[in-house]
Structure 1
Amino acid sequence: MSGSIIPDKLPVASINSFRKSVLAWYDQNRRTLPWRALPGQKPNPYHVWLSEVMLQQTVVATVVPYFQSFVRLWPTVHHLAQAPQDDVLKAWAGLGYYARARNLHKASHMISTELGGVFPQAEQALKSIPGIGDYTAAAILSIAFDQPAVVVDGNVERVVSRYFAITEPLPKGKILIRKAAALLAQGRIDRPADYAQALMDLGAAICVPKNPRCSACPVSRTCQARKQGHAASFPVRATKKAKPFKSGAIYLIKSRDNCRILLEKRPEEGLFGGMSGFLTSEWGDQGHFEHPERILSLGMPQKMRGALIKHSFTHFDLELQGYELIALRKPSGTSFWVNKNDILESGLPSLFQKFARFIVDNKRYGALL
């Protein structure tokens, strides 16, 4: 029972043993998380949904303070629906993948106005909500409503790939991993919410990416990867291609009285959609870029010493060279002025926050603020 062939069925006794061992471990070792119901408590579907959206492509430690801030600002889905999108985007700043925030806000409107604030308890109905796909729907069904579902996040993926020793490299291997996970979860009504979270916690605490703690694992005796002696090599991953490199310019544009800094609201679609940020050039390949006309029409950019801002996106790496100028005329379009003392509290995404921090920390440019 290993390799790239997953059986269509497992013996019921094997499934029962696996689940019993994992749940027993969970009862003693479960994580306490701000969105997770304590034993005996009923889960809050709003908290489950909000946390699952935030946790997409983002680790728990990063999400915790954002989640706490959101529920403090908007304690129910109705409150979130009534909030201006700009406020939601500002609160999301630094969490990345900003389409999630826009979809979160759209979804809150739908849940609040069309569904009366009640989250659906059926997979297809959940998937009709913006930003909810297969995984998030399964997580909500399982964790919020204690329904049987196949919930496979990064932690679960690691546990299952090792337990079955699945050799098909990712990303193709995800199909086999999900099939294997389904063998252990589909149709099971014995504590489905706890089981889903147990596998997540097992992957986070024991079946970790490097140096897995196999001796502390409740299912190590039947784990195929451990039997083979190289659990850490799973999940198998295809060789990564080198990321493309892009570069451009980022601009510190000051008012004539040196009291304000120019920002812009970015287009709704694309990177940092709907977010505020410094003006930039187009991002070109091979280290090539040109100052755009909209910048040159304001003044002549001067290169800022040491202001090379580096940022890594999922699909490419970016370097932006900082330039400064004083605006000789009132800018047009979606640009706007902010007080220079408020630049670090302007809800900037992490790329632009790096530039703001450079400006404030650097003696030469920080003196301008």
Structure 2
Amino acid sequence: MDNQEAKQYFSIELLEWYRKQKRDLPWRRSRDPYHIWVSEVMLQQTRVETVKPYFERFVTLFPTVEALAEAPEDVVLKAWEGLGYYSRARNLQAAAREVAEKYGGKVPDSKEQFSSLKGVGPYTAGAVMSIAFNQREPAVDGNVMRVLSRYFCIEEDVAKGGTRALMERLQYELIPDGEASDFNQAIMELGALVCTPKSPHCLVCPVMAKCAGRLEGKEEALPIKTKAKPPRPEYRACALVVSGDGRRVLLRRRPAQGLLAGMWELPHVEFAAAGWSPAMPDAAVGDALAGWLAGELSGSRVAVAPAGPAGEAEHTFSHIHWNLRLHRLAIAPDDAALPDGYRWVDRDGMALHPLPNVFVRLLRAEGFIDDARAGA
């Protein structure tokens, strides 16, 4: 079988399988390019089952480009709370504002115009142009690279830009005329459901008979990808400060730029930045943390005292792994004016403050966030 025959077989069999087996996903019920765009941004580095309730809630809150463009950022981040990678939400809103201003709220059907928007990369542009507008554009994500690597037995490192370019050319050649929307969704679907990263379900694969990787016994070894560096460990001391009446907790807002920009959190400090050692006993950490927070609140004329350890937590970002040691601190008086960026927040107020997931978990454990408000 020559390469052209293999390509034709793949496209025909894949489309036939997809039209029989495709999942009923909320974004597939809409032809609105904005809704498809939102779903593609949410699905980056996030599982489909996780995204479904977020997508439905998000497009209910912000049903149009204009609604998203006009919403306060805190409201958008709160709707995104728990999905992680919050720069996606900020970039999506910034791009929505561009669409509202430049294109009258209509998502442009020009790849060049759409690609110029904030946060829109080659994959998102290809996915929206093909799925929403049925344009013959490749949309290469991890699922697509895995399927193509195995089917064509491509033994190039998929982490390299040259291999991605090869995959884009190959996917473009595979798309049948007038079938870009279904085909690109079909190949993603195959990677998600059948041609999975581990233990692929070859026996139910619609293109199994002609899969070069399987025929050579390499389906488990492909795709070839250089391992990313493990996330850097960071050790942090985190303050849980509850008001005297037990109704409010002290939160701090993160800087407008950088990791988790603009979100709210429990005050915390990195051990290394403070000159502390992670080997310090709990009592010493509590004393040091109280001193650090007193410095943070120095203009408030409050006394800060340790009140005992409250547990530990971990959270992994793409490049950093946080190890948090949580300590209770007491502030007196608790009605003094706070410096910019600090705020007392009660249980009802938590619904208005976007929080990273690690702090949602900690505050839920303390009873300041209930299960219904904690996100998916």
Which residue of the partner structure matches residue 296 of structure 2?
294
More displaced, 256-265 or 114-123?
256-265
Q: Distance in 2 between matches of 1:56 and 1:242?
A: 20
Alpha-carbon shift at residue 343 of structure 1 (Å): 4.3
Deviations 1:236-287 (A, max 9, x none): 2324544321111111122343321111221121111111211111363873
Residues in 2 aligned to 1:188 and 1:132: alpha-carbon distance in whole angstroms: 25
Equivalent position of 1:17 in the other structure: 9
For residues 164-218 of structure 1, give each alpha carbon's deviation from its aligned partner in whole angstroms, at most 9, with x where no partner exists: 222233412x532541342242475240110000001111111011111111111
1:107 to 80, 95, 106: 95
Kept in 2, the 8 Å contact 1:162–1:225? The answer is yes
The residue aligned with 1:314 is 318
Q: Structure 2 residue aligned with 1:351, among 358, 364, 376?
A: 358
Aligned to 2:163: 176
Which sections of structure 2, spanning at least 5 residues, go unmatched?
A: 280-284, 369-376
Among candidates 118, 123, 127, match of residue 106 of structure 2: 118
Deviations 1:322-344 (A, max 9, x none): 12223334321111121146547
How far 1:117 sits from its partner (Å)?
1.2
SS in 2 for 1:108: helix
1:151 corresponds to: 139
1:43 equivalent to 2:20? Answer no
- TM-score of the superposed pair, with normalisation by structure 2: 0.85
**Aligned sequence identity (%):** 37
**For 1:70 and 1:83, how far apart are their aligned partners in 2?**
12
SS in 1 for 2:269: coil
Q: 1:101 to 1:299 in 2, by over 3 A?
A: farther
Q: How many residues align?
A: 348
- SS in structure 1 opposite 2:147? helix
Counterpart Cα distance in 1 of 2:343 and 2:35: 35
Asked if 1:167 is matched to 2:155, the reply is yes
Pairing of 1:1-369 with structure 2 (within 5 A): 11-37=3-29, 43-172=31-160, 175-186=162-173, 188-282=176-270, 284=272, 287=278, 291=289, 292=292, 293-294=295-296, 298-302=302-306, 304-328=308-332, 329-340=336-347, 342-343=349-350, 346-360=353-367
Amino acid aligned to 1:21: E
CA distance in 2, matches of 1:239, 1:14: 30
CA distance in 1, matches of 2:46, 2:63: 22
- Contact 2:310–2:328 (Cα < 8 Å) also in 1: no
Separation in 2 of the partners of 1:23 and 1:150? 16
> Contact 1:160–1:177 (CA<8 Å) still a contact in 2?
no
Alignment-mate amino acid for residue 169 of structure 2: A
- Residues of 1 paired with 2:317 and 2:302: CA distance? 30
Aligned equivalents of 1:327, 1:150: Cα separation in 2: 57
Q: RMSD value over aligned CA atoms?
A: 2.4
- 2:172 maps to a residue whose letter is A
Alignment CA distance shift 1:78-1:340 (3 Å): closer
Higher mean alpha-carbon deviation, 105-114 vs 141-150, is at 105-114
Give how far 1:148 is off.
Answer: 0.4
CA distance in 1, matches of 2:61, 2:215: 49
Other structure's SS at 2:91 match: helix
Deviation at 1:16, TM superposition (A): 2.1
1:139–1:84 distance in 2 versus 1, CA, 3 Å: same
- Residue ranges of structure 1 left out of the alignment (5+ in a row): 2-9, 362-369
- 1:365 equivalent in structure 2: none
